[in-house]
Chain A
Amino acid sequence: MASILAVDDSASMRQMVAFTLKGAGHQVIEASDGVEALQYARRQGVNLVITDVNMPNMDGISLIKALRSLPSYKFTPLLMLTTESSPEKKQQGKAAGATGWIVKPFNPEQLLNTINKVLG
């Protein structure tokens, strides 16, 4: 069981991610934007972060950059949820220190597969 921080401003996406991961026995913390996520992550370590890219207040790329600069998140897998149409976002994400991405749309099984790979 891992603790996973799920960040998305869309409640339905967040719920789907959370529901899927909880069903697989993980502990899921939900945050609706980068600021909220960063606040939590500073207080409490997590094993994995899954974040949307486009969000108000602080977007996913900035969140990844901020997290990666924290010593305790140096090697933590940070995944972003991105759409197929945005290769440049992937590049920006990588430059900010993202581990990888999950391409939207995805279904719960694909999500779990990816998570399982990352968590080993």
Chain B
Amino acid sequence: MTIDISQFHQVFFEESFEGLEIMESGLLNMDPGEVDAEEINAIFRAAHSIKGGSATFGFNDIAAFTHIMETLLDEMRDGRRQVTDKALEVLLRSVDVLREMLTASNGSGGLDEGLVKGQLQELEAVLNDRSDEPASGSDSDAGAVSTAREVIGWHLVFRPLPRMMQTGNDPLRILRELASLGDMEVEGDISLLPVFAQFDPEECYLSWNIHLKAGVDRLQIDEVFDWVEDECDLAVIPLYADARELIAAGEPAKDIIADLPSTMTVAEEPNRPDRRKNSDRRKADRRVEQRRASAAPASSSIRVDITKIDALINMVGELVITQSMLSMLSGNFHMGQVDRLRDGLAQLERHTREMQESVMQIRMLPISFTFSRFPRLVHDLSTQMGKKIELRMSGENTEVDKTVIEKIGDPLVHLVRNSLDHGIEMPDQRVAAGKPETGVVELNAFHNGGSIVIEIRDDGKGLDSDRIRRKAIEKGLIEESAKMSDQQLHELIFQPGFSTADKVNDLSGRGVGMDVVRRNINELGGNIEIESESGRGSAIIIRLPLTLAILDGQIISVGDEIYIVPLISIIESLQVRPDGINLVAGRGEVFKLRDEYLPVVRLHEVFGIEGNRAQDLKDGLLVVVEGDGRRCGILVDDLIGQQQVVIKSLEANYGRVEGVSGATILGDGSVALILDIPGIMRLTNQLPELQLVKRTA
């Protein structure tokens, strides 16, 4: 039977990455000189599991690397080695390298061999950093020299200790195994049987003289007795070709071994080196296997809490019951049963909704998957920058869509780095400003309404409005005379190419600007805002939809077309009087909403729809929407209703269309497009002439 073990690779990688998280957070929690037994045990176990798994599944480099980490951890665990800052740092870095090795083996990304080698050397340096201990002699079996005599068989005296059977070992099994090596003669020895009254059925009183007529490897015999080495007296005597006559003469073997000690110790056989050769060969085989395995594309899988699956199965059961009830009803339906039909349909609707929710639940993962990397990040960066920073996290168990987990990581890292780099001041500056020496960065996640909010707050120096203003003028983003509120100025940092960092350093300003962060968030259907107070700190607030597969939408109509506007981007809907509209050079039509002038976007113009009712503003409705931190009013014919819609990808089925984020199927079977508000704003900005022409027409 051959079993393809690559089918377990995915699970192995998943649990290994989880193991790395455990190791990392454990190492971060450890104090030098102080060993928390439980903590270090958990780290050790994680390393041990990764080692065992990687060796089993053929990732030998990973196994070898982890082995050294494990040895180090083992010594720390037993108190044989001091937990030092240096050792912790090296272990932490090794965790990083290990992560890269795993990622590379998983088929995503290459591996910097030099990095691995360097880290191995560092680990070994730490491991060998003990002058009083001699380097452990590795192979002591080098001296065995063959005396080229041909072995033609073995004579064994096998005497189990009385307790052998109590470890679950059966002498019969051992005899059977020996028999599989070749022909043999077995002679039972009952001389040790006690008198019947003293007979204990749980003990073994028999022993055997065995003549194995096969010139097998000594190793093969050792293997048979491997488990019972300490539970039997065993003598193994090689029989050489030139000693044939001895056997033939029926010389009792007992005499030969009479002077042997009762426990098994027989001269080393010249076969030892073979073992290493074998294992080398095995290693080479595995390396090939590994290469094959890493060439396979990594499939994405999801680990789901069993209770969620149970809930889903439960729900399906309910649904089936409802369905069978309805089909029974339809069998001979008469009008008297309308009420029952209505009840049944209501039930069907309820179950469908519940099932939809449970299915959505399966995609949800706690945001701790993303948050967990930050303690390490903050630890490393604050040490590097010489700042004192405390990271506080809340709401790690808030569940978000799996896609969000995958895509929110990098933007969050960028934002946290920004807070550390630009937000939190150096300790002396903080003291001078009357603040505690240690800065605080908070990462919060929580549900709010139908969305998930992720906040990054710091108590640093806040955004410098004057500097942003100067920079924006310098870059030509705003006019020198422009009057802008602080909030509007802060919004400017999301503009492409805007960076106030005076010098580009390692931490931020690596070409990834806030505009990219905003774009990433927008791609997830969310939005990002900034609140900042000079000298008091900043807060970045990210709002994301609960799930990416379903969206709360407002159905609108323009002419014969139906569109969906994501509810999350709608601020309000209103009817405007024509005299509330102003024409502004370069910006087209604007209307005044409270203290703000907002551009008007006529949807029928954007999408070229004819036959719409609202040619004139007074005939239609303005839906005030927000996207990319900007607002505008979208002119539509009518608001039809609100509904949860399932998002179908337009790109997968047709192609990307600017201004449209996807499509959905409505209750009557027709297709409606979902508007991408930031996209529509970009679209209208690119066509100022068009607006101008239409306006004068």
Residues of A within 8 A of B (CB): 9-13, 15-16, 19-20, 23-24, 52, 54-56, 68, 74-78, 81, 83, 85, 91, 94, 97-101, 104-109, 112, 117-118, 120
A interface SS class: mixed
Q: Which residue of A lies closest to B282 (CB)?
A: A105
Q: B258: CB under 8 A from chain A?
A: no
**10 A-B pairs whose Cβ atoms sit less than 8 Å apart in the complex:** A9-B49, A10-B53, A16-B56, A75-B165, A91-B230, A99-B167, A100-B169, A101-B227, A107-B56, A117-B177
- Helix, strand, loop or mixed for chain B's interface? helix
Collect the chain B residues with CB atoms within 8 Å of residue A107's CB.
3, 5, 56
- On chain B, the residues within 8 Å of A55 by CB distance are 45
- In the docked arrangement, what's the CA distance between A55 and B46, Å? 9
Contact with A along B1-21 (1 / 0, CB 8 A): 111010111011001000000
Q: Are A11 and B15 interface neighbours, CB within 8 A?
A: yes
Question: Knowing A9-B49, A74-B202, A105-B52 touch, does A120 contact B176 (C-beta < 8 A)?
Answer: yes
Please tell me if the beta carbons of B45 and A12 are within 8 angstroms of each other in the complex. no
Mark interface residues in B170-199 (1 if CB within 8 Å of A CB, else 0): 101100110000000000000000000000
Determine which residue in B1, B45, B49, B168 has the highest number of CB atoms from chain A within 10 A of its CB, and name it.
Answer: B168
A16 — which chain B residues lie within 8 A by C-beta?
Answer: 5, 8, 56
Contact A109 B52, beta carbon cutoff 8 Å:
no
Taking A19-B3, A118-B173 as contacts, is the C-beta distance between A105 and B230 under 8 angstroms?
Answer: no
Residues of A within 8 A of B173 (CB): 117-118, 120
Q: Which residues of chain B come closer than 8 Å to A108, judged between CB atoms? A: 1-3, 5
A120 touches B172 (CB 8 A): yes
Interface size of B in residues (CB-CB distance below 8 Å)? 41
Contact check, A23 vs B230: say whether CB atoms are below 8 A apart: no
Q: A83-B55, A91-B230 are in contact. List 11 more A-B contacts (CB 8 A).
A: A10-B52, A68-B166, A83-B48, A83-B52, A94-B230, A99-B169, A100-B227, A101-B227, A108-B1, A118-B168, A120-B173
Instruction: Point out which of A11, A78, A97 has the most chain B C-beta atoms below 10 A from its C-beta.
Output: A11
Q: Which residues of the other chain, A, contact B202 by a CB distance below 8 angstroms?
A: 74-75
B230 to chain A, nearest CB (A): 6
Tell yes or no: B63 within 8 A of A by CB.
yes
Query: B67 and A99: CB pair below 8 A?
Result: no
Is the pair B169, A11 in contact by a Cβ cutoff of 8 Å? no
* Chain A hits for B166, CB < 8 A: 68, 74-75, 97
B42 within 8 A of A: yes
Residues of B with Cβ closer than 8 Å to A?
1-3, 5, 7-9, 11-12, 15, 42, 44-45, 48-49, 51-53, 55-58, 63, 67, 71, 165-170, 172-173, 176-177, 202, 226-228, 230-231
Top 5 closest A-B pairs, CB basis? Answer: A100-B227, A99-B168, A105-B55, A12-B12, A108-B3
- Residues in chain B near residue A98, CB distance under 8 A: 167-168
Whether A15 pairs with B49 at a CB distance below 8 angstroms is no
For residue B368, give the distance in angstroms from its CB to the closest CB of chain A: 19
- Asked whether B49 lies within 8 Å of A10 as measured between CB atoms, the reply is yes
Task: Output the nearest chain B residue to A15 by Cβ-Cβ distance.
Answer: B8
- Cβ B11 vs Cβ A56 within 8 A: no
Docked pose: A98 CA to B169 CA in angstroms: 9
**Given the interface contacts A94-B230, A117-B173, does A104 sit within 8 Å of B168 by beta carbon?**
no
B167 touches A109 (CB 8 A): no
Residue of A nearest to B55 (CB): A105
Query: Within 8 Å CB of A24, what residues of B?
Result: 1
User: How far is A56 from B168 in the complex, measured between Cα atoms in Å?
Assistant: 25
Most buried by A among B56, B63, B202: B56
Q: Which residue of A lies closest to B41 (CB)?
A: A56
Residues A12 and B169 in contact in the complex (CB < 8 Å), given A108-B5, A109-B1 = no
Q: Which residues of B contact A109 (CB under 8 A)?
A: 1-3
- Nearest CB in chain B: distance from A57 CB, A: 11
